[in-house]
Every structure is written in C-alpha cells, then in structure tokens.
Structure 1
Amino acid sequence: MKSICLYFQVHQPLRLRRYRFFDIGNNHYYYDDYTNESIMRKISDECYLPANKILLDLLLENKGKFKVAFSITGIAIDQFEQYAPEVLDSFKELAKTGDVEFLAETYSHSLASLKNKDEFVSQVQEHSDRIEALFGVRPTTFRNTELVYSDGIGEMVSEMGYKGILTEGAKHILGWKSPNYLYCNAINPKLKVLLRNYKLSDDIAFRFSAEGWKEWPLTTTKFVEWLNDQDEKEDVVNIFMDYETFGEHQKKESGIFEFLENLPKEVILKSNYQFATPTELAANYQPIAQAHVPNPISWADEERDLSAWLGNNLQDEAFNKLYELRDDVLALKDERLLKDWRYLQASDHFYYMCTKFFSDGDVHSYFNPYDSPYDAFINYMNVLSDFQLRIKEMRNVLADKSDLMEAELAEKDALIEKYRKELDDLKAQFEKAE
C-alpha cells in the first residue's frame, strides 16, 4: 500500500524592536514584545488552537489510521510559554494520541548548518532535549531550517544519529525522477531522505483560496483524485507545509478548516494510501536511489536555493559578522548573552534583508515587518553593534576581575613567603637554643 505523509512546520519569528543608532550602548533589550505577543495571540486564535482541536478529533476518531508530523522551533516554543501556554498544552494532547511525530531541528530556526558544525550540533541537541522534555519522545527524524539540505548537511545529521531527513523535491536536483519515492543520502546511505511534493503541497499552502486558479475551489474529493492519479509504482506522497496555512495564510472563510476535517476520511475510504509519519516511511520503504545534492537547496521561492537568506551583500555581511562572535560568546559563558546571540541567528532576520522584488517579491513583502531590506539591515546591524559592545564590556569586567585576583594572589604569595621565612628564623633560633 502507498503512503501519504502530512508534515507541518510551526514557527513564529521573534521580531526585533526598532533599534536606533542612539540605542547602541544604552539599551540592551532588542525585542518587540508588544508585536510578538499580539501576533502570537492572533495566530494562536486563528490557527494553532482551532487546527489542533480539529486534528485531535480526527486522530481520536481514526485511531491508528490518521497520522501527522510537526516540527516546532525553539523560538516558537519560548513564545508559546510566554504568550500562549494553552497552545503548548494542545500540542501535548496531540502527542498523547501516539499518532503524532515531532521532528528535530535547530533550536533558533538558524542557518548554522551552513556556517559552523559545532554550533549546528549544539542547537539540534538543545532542541531535541526540549522536545523530549515537552512531549516524552526523543526525535528520530530531522528537519533543517526551511528544508535546507545538501549531501554534507545530511552527513552531519546522520552522525548525530537521526534516521531520516526532510527536504524539497527540487526539479533541478531530481531531473526526470519523481519526489514520490524514498531516497538516501549520497555520503551516508543509512540516512533516508524524504522529498516534498511541492506541486500538491503548494496547491494547499499557496493556491487554495486563489479564485483565479483554474482548479479553484480545491475540494478533498479533487485532491484525493490527484493522489490516485500518481504513478501506481510510486511509494509515497509527502505533503509538507507551514502549519499557519490553516487559518492564517488561508483564512477560515476560504473553507481550509473544512478541507482539513474531510481529508482523512476521503483518503482512508477513497484511495489506496495510508497515512504514515516520516520515521515510519524511513523504516518501511527502501530507497530507490541516492539523492545527489552537492549544493544546498531549500523550499523557498522558485529557485529552491539559499538566495532568500544569503543572496546579497547585506545578508552576507550580517551573517558573517554574527558568526564571527561565536568564540567570544562561548568564552564568556553568560546565559543571557548566549540566548540573545542564538535568537539573532534566526533565519527570519536575513530573510527580511532579501532584495528579490520580482518572481517572489509578494511573498517576501507579506512576511516582512520592515519598509525595505535596507531598513532591516540597518536595524539588525545596530542591534549587532550593541551586542558587540556588551561582549567588550563583559570581557573588560572579567579582565579587571582577573587582574584583581592576580594581585590578591600575589599579595597572598608574598605573605606566605614572609611567614615561611619567620618560621624558618624561629626554627633556627629554637635549634640553637637546644
């Protein structure tokens, strides 16, 4: 029997406040709490809570026959705890069904896999620890930020012990091959590679409410017909998308929730597909070939590359400057400093600096709180300048403490030497008296 895998990304960026030049050195708090809370509350009410309620009902109604997978970024988890703890509770209820898989990823939705292996491994470890603590199961499948993948990244993920990884079924990688099979990493074949069917995924995620689309309106009956039209030799169909598709990107009025409610029954009764989680796919199917991906790919924009985050000089300068600070940050061993540095790694900050105004400009502007990429760059670099000042101040404080300790130790050594000589003199006098 063939399998369909539903996977949803859950992420909300931690937006920076307007950080002016004159704030540098005077205010070390970088986040727009009001906007972050307002957006989190809005999306919780419009998407996370109602969608989770629908999924819970479906999972209980179709016990063992309906399954889904999530990855929830550490930044999203931190904001849930602060602004919407009931959302975390609803995810815990989903976890209790036993039919939901939670995937590993970088804690701060970062691009560390492209820059620093040690940092990448550290963030993935931190995220898996958090997921296990929240939901009681340690992840065995990995999903990198924005589905960024290459042969080398896959090798690192395999070394960490993960059995499978998700990425984009990009045309320029697959060529004539189909994404509807299981593949494996070109360096370490033990790592299974699950490829996103971007056509069927984007039909829901981007085109669902587009009245100008020739297939509008999209119904579950039509969607299942498309599934059944896939080549009968193909094993799997991977439907990967942002969870915010439900109620946020596609509004409630579009009928997106009704589509979600009806999809499992339609698939179970009218197709030869069964629902499966990524780990189940990796365990139950054999790879048909290696996925050769020498250069990183992603699921973003028409190019399916890194240009959304690292495609211009602004992005490259900010990205390189940030990671130059790693050794200093780790050496200081300050928890708040490390947390801020990792929050500043979130890929969203570099996405806002993108200057692609043509094929995907509308998508970029939809997600961008800044008036222009240059505003995003200036704001981010102001924050980074202040962050560097904090590092310098902490190093100076530590240096002063070190100098003081050295002086105290020298003083103690001098006293010890003085007392030793006095004792030697007393001992000599005592021996002479005898």
Structure 2
Amino acid sequence: MRHICFYFQIHQPFRFRTYRFFDIGHDSYYYDDFSNRSILHKIAKKCYLKMNDVLLQLLKTNDFKVAFSISGSALDQFEQYAPEVIESFKKLAKTGKVEFLGETYSHSLVSLRNENEFKKQVAQHSAKIKELFDQSPEVFRNTELIYSDFIGEQVYNMGFKAMLTEGAKHILGWKSPNYLYCNTLNPKLKLLLRNYKLSDDIAFRFSNQSWNEWPLTADKFVGWLNNVDPNEEVINLFMDYETFGEHQWESTGIFDFMKALPKAILKNTNFKFATPSEVAKKHQPVAQLSVPYPISWADEERDLTAWLGNNLQREAFENLYSLSEEVNICEDETILKDWQKLQTSDHFYYMCTKFFADGAVHMYFNPYGSPYDAFINYMNVLSDFAERVKAIAKKSEIKLLSPEAVDEEIKKHEELLKQLIETKKQKKETTVAKKKTTETPVKTAEKTKTEKSKQTSSVAKKAEKPSKKEATVTKKTVPTSKKEEAVVKKAKTSKNKNN
C-alpha cells in the first residue's frame, strides 16, 4: 500500500516591541501586544478558520487524513486573542482523522544546546496538546524540521517512535525521500522525509506566474504523483499551514485546489492518505539515514544558517543560553515565561543577513527594518532579562535545597571548618617553633655579652681600688685629728709670713 502524508505546521511568535537601551532596568514588558493581536486576527480570518472549514468538509466526505503541529506560543495566542481557532481545531480532532504532533513549546532551537531544557519544553507541549485535544503525541516534529543523529536519539528516549525531517539532497544523495528511514544511533526511531519538490510546488510556487508549470491544478498534481516510481511507498507533503490564505492568497485559487485534491488522488491514483503514526506502523525502514550535522527545511542550504549563520545570530544565541543555569534556579513565573519566549527561533531568523531569494523570504517575515535592528532590539531585551534573572537567582538559590541537600551542605561546611581550624593550629605551632629557634641564639649572645660586661666591670673596680702601700701613704697625708689639723695650719701660716 502506498500512502500520502499531509502535515501542516502552525506557529506564531510573540513579537517584541521596540525596546531601547534606556528601557533596560526600567521597563520589563517586552511584547508588542497590538501587533501580535492584529496579526493573529488577520491570519485567523484569512487562513486558520477558513482552511479548517475546508478540511472539516474533506475529512467528513473523503477518506482523507492530516497531521498538525501547533507551537505552544501559537496555542497561547489562540487562547488569548482568538479562542474560536482552538474550537475549530477541536472539531477537526473529533473526526478521528487528525493527528497532533509533539514539538518544543516555544518553537525554539533548544535541541541544539540544552538537553534538559529540550525535554522540559517537549513535555510541556505534549501536556498542552493532551489538555486541548485529548491526544498524546507519538510522532515528533522539531522546530523547522531540525534533525541530526544525536537529536533523533534524544527524541526516541523521550518516548517518540517516529520523527519528521527534511529530505535534504546533500544527505540523501542518490536515495529517494519517498521511503521510511531510521536513525543511525537508535534504529528504533523511524524517519519520515519531506518531499521538498512536491511540497514546495504547493507552498511556494503555486501562485508564481513565471513558473513554467503555472497554473497548478489538482489533475496536474495527480499526474506528477502517478509519475513517481511505483516501488516508492510514501510521499510526505509537509508545509506551513499559513500557505493557505496568507502566503498564497485566496484569489490564487489555493482553497479550490485543496478542495479538489483529495478526491482526485483517491480516484486517480493508488495512493491512500495516512497520518505520520500510521505511516510509521504500516511501513518498515529501508535503511539507516546518517545525519551527523543538523539539517532543516529552511533555505536552499537546508541547514542552520537561517538562524545561526552569522556573528549577530551566534552572539545572541550564546548570550541567551549562557543564562540557563541561573534561570533554572528561578521560580518566578514571569521570568520562566519570558525565558521561553526569548528562545523562539523567529528572533534569530530576523537577524539573517542572506541575500537573493532566501533573503527576500526572510524579509517577508521580518517585522524590523533590517537584521541589525532585530539584533539591537533583541540584545536590549536580553540585557534587561539578564539583570532580572541575576537578581532573582540570588534570592532563589537557597530555596532549591531540599532538607537532604541542606544537611549535605552543612556537612561540607563543617568539614571545611575543621580543615581551617587544623590549618590554623598547624600555622600557630610552626610560628611558635620558629620563634623559639630565633630566641635561643639571641639569649646566648646576651648571656655572653653580660658575662663580658661583668668581667670588664671587675677589672675596672680592681684598677680603681688602691694598694695597701698607697692606702698607707694616703692615710698618713690626711690629718686624722684636730691637733694635727692645728699643727698643719700653723705651719702654713708661718710659711706665708716668711714669703
């Protein structure tokens, strides 16, 4: 049995308002509510509601099946600005012919950087899909079909059995995208590859009047399907849901084309419609697909250059994820919501500096005047966010510790205190020992000096003390009585007279 798998991506970012340098630290509301609301209302009217009505009729009257992935940021805006869109998707879900896929909540590039944050966002998105549409996603579609061997292994470990990605020519080589493949690191993960030629004939070239196949009709498209090698088992037609009514206006005939296509395929080909999970169950992989470096469905290169191809984009990306650890210790709900919205891939897409055809596509989606304006605005927002995170992280740090963790920290600090006390004790003992060693020779020198001083003093005293003979002479010279004094005095007087 051969199958056609229709898959539609739905995403709307929370666009930032003009955020100037002088707003940093003073105003922490980053979003352009007017633009977000008005754009969503416009696209809901032109695309979502109108196309959902078309699909509802097709699902009821034909053996037709489709799959959607709706980003968490789009679902949040639907709930906030256009709840009727959610209700219209619920009607589609109730037909039993629609599958909702898993993805990152904020349509982010987190799979390229942080595995734990990746798991967290995927789990949050799956919970939201379950809440709104009562489905638990079994198939995963990463942001912009970004895929690599390593990412695929992570996705399988999260519980998904299959994943969508791009049928990139530089990866496939001579192989065809019209088969089921599997991951090289974990062959249990099945891969559905986008047939980019047939998908883009609808998504990009449908209204191009310079295209040599214009106008595209349902019968012409069926003819192309019949020209596909009969051995090829599945054709995956993956595209933005905004193709219908927004990128390709109603006046191009895109809605009429889709109304006619399912019936024409079922009537004139041997293809049947299937959802991604049904394709994964009904077909077996023909080979492993080696994708060592990430691919995507964006631009001619089918790689990451749409988001990380220049220095502006890489600097913004690195600065954003450098805050991961500090954000993880924050419990502030506003911080966590802003963190997710900052990760949305669109912000990096707006900074792309490519030219020619790809550049024109980027500018079509860009709300800024230039990639440089997008970079400056984003970095101003990120600077304010970083200040808030650092302030809250300091307050939140202690709250993260469980009682067991607190005990462990106390033990560590007690051990550290013991080591410090022991070190101080050893230092003191060393100082005392050095002091003693220094004092001993000093005391010896002082003792020697004292002894020498005593000897010198003794000699001096001996020198000063008269001998017995000298003492006798002195004794005789000095009068010892009043009588002798009178005699001496008389002799002196007599001598003076004679003179």
Q: Is the structural similarity TM-score above 0.5?
A: yes
2:42 corresponds to 1:42: yes
Q: Offset at 1:397?
A: 5.1
Matched residue, 1:127: 125
Secondary structure in 1 matching 2:223: helix
Matched residue, 1:405: none
2:394 corresponds to 1:393: no
Q: Offset at 1:399?
A: 8.0
Q: Offset at 1:53?
A: 0.4
CA distance in 2, matches of 1:338, 1:295: 30
> Which AA in structure 2 matches 1:282?
A
Secondary structure in 2 matching 1:6: strand
Matched residue, 2:59: 59
CA distance in 2, matches of 1:401, 1:131: 31
Matched residue, 2:359: 361
Q: Offset at 1:400?
A: 11
CA distance in 1, matches of 2:53, 2:198: 24
Contact 2:139 2:163 in 1 (8 A): yes
CA distance in 1, matches of 2:329, 2:220: 57
Secondary structure in 2 matching 1:183: strand
Matched residue, 1:286: 284
Structure of higher RCO (CA pairs closer than 8 Å, 6+ residues apart)? 1
Matched residue, 1:344: 342
Q: Offset at 1:388?
A: 1.0
2:166 corresponds to 1:161: no
Q: 1:106 aligns with which of 104, 107, 128?
A: 104
CA distance in 2, matches of 1:55, 1:359: 31
> Could you say if the C-alpha distance between residues 400 and 161 of structure 1 is closer, same or farther in structure 2, counting changes exceeding 3 Å?
closer
TM-score by length of 2: 0.79
2:23 corresponds to 1:23: yes
> Which AA in structure 2 matches 1:57?
Q
Deviations for 1:315-343, whole angstroms, at most 9, x for unmatched residues? 11110111111111120211110110111
Q: 2:181 aligns with which of 170, 183, 189?
A: 183
> Could you say if the C-alpha distance between residues 25 and 175 of structure 1 is closer, same or farther in structure 2, counting changes exceeding 3 Å?
same
Q: Offset at 1:398?
A: 5.3
Task: Provide structure 1 residue ranges, at least 5 long, that are not aligned to the other structure.
Answer: 403-434
Q: Offset at 1:61?
A: 1.1
CA distance in 1, matches of 2:13, 2:71: 9
CA distance in 1, matches of 2:399, 2:51: 54
CA distance in 2, matches of 1:400, 1:79: 35
Deviations for 1:359-403, whole angstroms, at most 9, x for unmatched residues? 41110110101111110000000000000111233245558999x
Secondary structure in 2 matching 1:166: strand
2:6 corresponds to 1:3: no
CA distance in 2, matches of 1:214, 1:194: 29
CA distance in 2, matches of 1:380, 1:222: 45
2:210 corresponds to 1:212: yes
CA distance in 2, matches of 1:131, 1:392: 33
**Farther off after superposition, 174-183 or 358-367:** 358-367
- Describe how 1:78-157 pairs up with structure 2 within 5 A: 78-157=76-155
CA distance in 1, matches of 2:377, 2:138: 38
- Describe how 1:222-237 pairs up with structure 2 within 5 A: 222-237=220-235
Matched residue, 2:170: 172
Deviations for 1:97-136, whole angstroms, at most 9, x for unmatched residues? 0000000000000000000100101100000010011111
2:381 corresponds to 1:383: yes
Aligned residues: CA RMSD: 1.3
CA distance in 2, matches of 1:249, 1:69: 20
Matched residue, 1:429: none
Q: Offset at 1:137?
A: 1.1
Deviations for 1:16-65, whole angstroms, at most 9, x for unmatched residues? 00000111111000000000000000000000000000100110112xx1
Q: Offset at 1:358?
A: 2.8
Matched residue, 1:415: none
CA distance in 2, matches of 1:393, 1:197: 49
TM-score by length of 1: 0.91
- Describe how 1:71-82 pairs up with structure 2 within 5 A: 71-82=69-80
CA distance in 2, matches of 1:221, 1:90: 29
Deviations for 1:122-180, whole angstroms, at most 9, x for unmatched residues? 10000001001111110000000000000000000000110100000000000000000
CA distance in 2, matches of 1:397, 1:162: 38
Q: 2:331 aligns with which of 318, 323, 333?
A: 333
**Farther off after superposition, 137-146 or 326-335:** 326-335
Q: 1:275 aligns with which of 265, 273, 276?
A: 273
Secondary structure in 1 matching 2:64: coil
Secondary structure in 2 matching 1:344: helix
CA distance in 2, matches of 1:159, 1:401: 30
CA distance in 1, matches of 2:221, 2:81: 36
Secondary structure in 1 matching 2:221: helix
Q: 1:308 aligns with which of 306, 309, 315?
A: 306
CA distance in 2, matches of 1:169, 1:399: 46
CA distance in 2, matches of 1:207, 1:332: 47
> Which AA in structure 2 matches 1:382?
N
CA distance in 2, matches of 1:249, 1:292: 33
> Which AA in structure 2 matches 1:55?
L
Task: Provide structure 2 residue ranges, at least 5 long, that are not aligned to the other structure.
Answer: 401-499
Secondary structure in 2 matching 1:211: coil
Contact 2:28 2:385 in 1 (8 A): yes
> Could you say if the C-alpha distance between residues 226 and 339 of structure 1 is closer, same or farther in structure 2, counting changes exceeding 3 Å?
same
Contact 2:326 2:390 in 1 (8 A): no
> Which AA in structure 1 matches 2:67?
A
Aligned residues with identical type, % of pairs: 67
> Which AA in structure 2 matches 1:13?
P
CA distance in 2, matches of 1:349, 1:40: 17
CA distance in 2, matches of 1:304, 1:397: 44
